[in-house]
């Protein structure tokens, strides 16, 4: 899959609202604990890994080695719109969900879903700094 195709995940239309997430794209990836992820671009896969994947999110061990892919080649996240009256800062926000083929470690009849909430925060400035 062409890397630029991931940019299509930046533009979300839900319930008449258009969300452009392109400013959230990091040059490499974001990290939260044992999870590396990105928006609008595939998360940079470690060069030291034996094989590479195009994925928006993956789990890593303590040394930063990839353990599990959390999104597959799906570039269209499922979007759930939250109305501004449901938000503490009176702004609409979205929950993005992306499926994977990775089996859940606690129940191998289920697969991992990468889910993230995206909302406005005026204290964060600059592209790729979410």
Architecture category of domain 3-118 in CATH: Distorted Sandwich (2.70)
Q: What is the pTM of this model?
A: 0.80
Contacts of 34 (CB under 8 A, 6+ apart): 59, 60, 61, 62, 67
* Tens-place pLDDT, residues 39-88: 888 888 888 887 888 889 999 998 888 988 888 766 778 888 888 787 77
Domain ranges of the chain: 3-118
Tokens standing for residue 88: 């503490």
Owner of token pair 């890994």: 49
């Amino acid at each position: 899959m062409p890397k630029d195709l991931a940019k299509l995940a930046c533009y979300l239309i839900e319930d008449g609202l258009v969300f452009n997430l392109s400013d959230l794209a990091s040059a490499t990836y974001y990290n939260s604990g044992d999870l590396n992820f990105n928006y609008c671009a595939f998360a940079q896969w470690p060069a030291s890994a034996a094989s590479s994947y195009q994925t928006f999110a993956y789990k890593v061990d303590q040394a930063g080695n990839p353990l599990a892919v959390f999104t597959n080649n799906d570039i269209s996240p499922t979007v759930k719109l939250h109305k501004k009256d449901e938000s503490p800062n009176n702004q609409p926000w979205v929950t993005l969900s992306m499926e994977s083929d990775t089996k859940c470690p606690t129940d191998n009849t289920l697969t991992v879903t990468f889910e993230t909430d995206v909302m406005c925060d005026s204290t964060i400035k600059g592209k790729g700094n979410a």
